[in-house]
Structures are given as C-alpha cells and as structure tokens.
Chain A
C-alpha cells in the first residue's frame, strides 16, 4: 500500500521555523513507512525535523512510532523527495543555517496548557541536543512550567525534553530516554 493522505492529520506547530507534528495511521509496515519517498506526494508539506506520530496497524500488535522527517528537498526531475526516520535513528538536522542559541522563531506549536502540561516543538539545526539541554538555554521562555514537554530537533539528534527548572536565569530541560 502507498501513502494515503487522508490518514494524515495535524499538524501542530509550524509557526516560524518550529517543527510541525502530525498523526498518521496505516496498514503499511513501519519498514514501508520509513522507506525513502513514502510521503513524497505531500510535496512541500513536510520539512526536515517535522514529527509524525504514526500507528502501524500491520504489526501483530499495532504500535505507535515516533518518526522524524530527515529529508525534504526539491530535486529537479524528481519533485519533492522526503524520508522519515524512527527517533532512535534520526541523526539530526545538520543544515547549520540557524543562529546558535535560543531562537524564539524556532519554538512554537504549543498545545495543552490549561489542565494539562504543555507540549511545544523547538528546532535548531546548529545547536547540539546537549547544548539545548544546558542550563539557561531557554531563559527567554516565560511560559514554561515544570514537566512541560518540548520536542527538540537538534543538529545531532531528536529528543523529548522535559522542563526541569523554571528558575529565572537557569531555565533548563532534561532529555527523556525511552525503553
């Protein structure tokens, strides 16, 4: 089966240069979804660092996978070429076109707040994930609360971050590791 656009929904984020988040459900196997070109028909609808929560129904037990767009470019003669990587294999957005340090325009897509914690997305293709997790990196962010979640696309990785400190001058996130 091929990519079926109607099974894709979302996304959140996308304000400024922040990553979008999409959801997708399919009967295709995860190996098919992560084959280069699977979502090419989206055209420019995906950008490097966009995140897809994909449910693979084909597995014996259906499962949610977190995928990150690793390629999204226009190639003469081929149109838009895209690829998605599982979070553990995504090696980062290495374009290096962003300024180092926190960039407000790269941070967006807040959902939640109110009763629940908030989730936002942050992309910086110059800074490493460890730099982004350094104390003070997010000092300019005034809306964080402890345990808010940030999906981080860095120069060398994709990470789920949890807001660990909102102390003025020492706002900090920590990475979440998965089983």
Chain B
C-alpha cells in the first residue's frame, strides 16, 4: 500500500513554533510508513518537528525530521513492542 492522505486527520497544535500532532491510520507496517518518500504527498502540510502518531499494524510515534517542500523525512521515536 501507499500513503493515503485521506487517512491523515485530527491535528492539534497549530503554533508557528510548537509541533503539530497528527493522527494517521494505515494498514501498512510502521517500517513502510516511516520509509523514504512515504509522506511526500503531504509535503505542503508538515513542518520540521511535527509529530505523526501512526496507527499502523504496529503503533508508533513519528517525528518529521525534514521537509524541503517535496520530500518529507520522518523518524520513528516511539514504537510498540
């Protein structure tokens, strides 16, 4: 499966500095969802340090490492056992 931005919802926090917390649901694995280019379709939304709570097959919390407007890079900071 690929990224589906319709599954990205419910952000809180919209400050210019503070991170925004997004929820994202997918049937993909956390490894796939945190892979290269996965979130690129939402490059217009994310900013560095935003948090994506990923309700995947394995629950995890991702952090946006960088976004140059085209390529979104995320890291897994917290994940389910």
Chain A residues proximal to chain B, CB less than 8 Å: 6-12, 21-25, 53, 55, 57, 61-64, 66, 111-119, 147, 149, 160, 162, 176-179
Contacts and interface: CB of A to CB of B under 8 A. Distances in A.
Given A149-B59, A177-B81, A53 B21 contact: yes
B25 A178 contact: no
A25 B80 contact: no
B51 A7 contact: no
B18 to A, nearest CB: 3
A112 B24 CA distance: 8
Contacts of A62: 49, 63
B59 A176 contact: yes
Q: Is the interface of B mostly helix, strand, loop or mixed?
A: strand
B12 A11 contact: yes
Interface of B: 4, 6-15, 17-21, 23-25, 49, 51, 53, 55, 59, 61, 63, 75, 77-81
Contacts, number: 114
Given A9-B15, A24-B18, A66-B78, A116 B10 contact: yes
A33 to B, nearest CB: 14
A10 B49 CA distance: 15
B59 A115 contact: no
18 contacts: A10-B13, A10-B21, A11-B12, A11-B13, A22-B13, A23-B18, A25-B17, A25-B18, A25-B49, A62-B49, A66-B78, A111-B9, A116-B9, A116-B24, A117-B25, A118-B10, A149-B23, A177-B80
Contacts of B19: 9, 23-25, 53, 55
A66 B79 CA distance: 12
Nearest to A6: B17
A9 B13 contact: yes
Contacts of B81: 177-179
B9 A115 contact: yes
B23 to A, nearest CB: 4
Contact of A23 (B12, B59, B77, B80): B12
A64 B78 contact: yes
Nearest to B16: A6
